[in-house]
Structure 1
Amino acid sequence: MWIALLIIVFVLFALSFTKFEIRKEIVINQSPENVWKVIIDFQNYKHWNTQLAYLGGDIKPNGDLHLKLSVSGTAPYEFKPKISHWEENKKFAWIAITGLPRIFDGEHFFELKNLGNNTTLLINREEYRGILSLIIKNLPMMKNAPTGFETMNLEIKNYTESNK
């Protein structure tokens, strides 16, 4: 009995480190500083972001956010992530934990690479981790997620480049 219980605990522990990632990149004809300003200006998401709405929170390192994701074909989803990375003009991220840590966590990153000549490589990615990630990875909503990342990248690019 104890051996079976230990095996189950070990398997669940090992599964908690399971992860997958969605990653999309785009070159933006603006400096990292200007792209950064758009990414952290949550109050103005309504002017360019068709998928993510800012409902409140503290936009600062370790701040708590309240966001709503609305993707075509799925019900809107409100969540309250915590800002996990704040490296000005380089990296911004938040983490959303569903229930207990390592059950299903998503950490969303915006990484900015200065390409010179007033251009920036935006890396928009999310790391999904936890026991349920193997199951959730294969759900229909996750099959459409890469398209959502591409849409957001284009929206960031268009908004940033039009506000020179």
Structure 2
Amino acid sequence: MKEQIMSEIVIQAPLAAVWKVLADFAYYPNWSPTIQQFEGIPEEGKQTKVWLQQPGGTRIKMNPIFLRIAKEQEIRWKGKLFLAGLFDGEHYFVLKPLANGQTLLIQGELFSGVLVPFLRKMIKGNTLAGFNLFNQALKKEVEGSL
């Protein structure tokens, strides 16, 4: 089974300014309400522990592999719950330049695995709400630093 969620926001800042905050993994604890900490600096092709906090109180530690870190374009990782195929998630941030020096942030995740139907309410509820909270916090952090 599969399920995909996505959240977008327009940030009143150039792509380079958004990337600077998004790719500064050590600084996340200072502004992000949902992605709270990276243990180490993520590198493409490697695993890095990530602490997540969902609205509603669920806090989890995951150890995803970073699939892509492309400067001013995309950050993508894939994690799993216990065993591959049970509940997997491929999370992504995509940046797109817009007119007038604005940037579109697209945050999404493709969930797959046998537990997806049982976790659909959480995915479309607290998880999607967390994406929106993160996007708003990133917008505030970037726009406030200009």
Name the TM-score, length of structure 1 as normaliser. Answer: 0.82
2:2 match? 19
Distance in 1 (CA, whole Å) between partners of 2:124 and 2:16 is 31
Distance in 2 (CA, whole Å) between partners of 1:72 and 1:47 is 17
Instruction: Give the drift of 1:87.
Output: 2.0
2:130 match? 148
1:33 match? 16
Deviates more, 1:95-104 or 1:116-125: 95-104
Aligned-partner residue type, residue 153 of structure 1: N
Check the 8 A contact 2:54/2:130 in 1, yes or no: yes
Aligned-partner residue type, residue 161 of structure 1: E
Task: Name the SS of the counterpart of 1:34 in structure 2.
Answer: helix
1:43 match? 26
Deviations 1:63-109 (A, max 9, x none): 32211112232331111111112222111111111222222101110
Check the 8 A contact 1:57/1:63 in 2, yes or no: no
Q: Residues 55 and 114 (structure 1 numbering): CA distance in 2 closer, same or farther, change over 3 Å? A: closer
Decide which of 36, 43, 46 is 1:53's aligned counterpart.
36
> Is there any run of 5+ residues in structure 1 with no aligned partner, and where?
1-17
Check the 8 A contact 1:96/1:107 in 2, yes or no: yes
Decide which of 63, 85, 101 is 1:118's aligned counterpart.
101
1:90 match? 73
Aligned-partner residue type, residue 38 of structure 1: V
Distance in 1 (CA, whole Å) between partners of 2:46 and 2:103 is 26
Distance in 1 (CA, whole Å) between partners of 2:45 and 2:4 is 23
Distance in 2 (CA, whole Å) between partners of 1:128 and 1:27 is 25
What percent identity do the matched residue pairs reach?
29
Distance in 2 (CA, whole Å) between partners of 1:129 and 1:27 is 28
Distance in 2 (CA, whole Å) between partners of 1:151 and 1:72 is 9
1:75 match? 58
Task: Name the SS of the counterpart of 1:117 in structure 2.
Answer: helix
Instruction: Give the drift of 1:25.
Output: 0.4
2:139 match? 157
Check the 8 A contact 1:57/1:64 in 2, yes or no: no
Instruction: Give the drift of 1:142.
Output: 4.6
Distance in 1 (CA, whole Å) between partners of 2:140 and 2:38 is 23
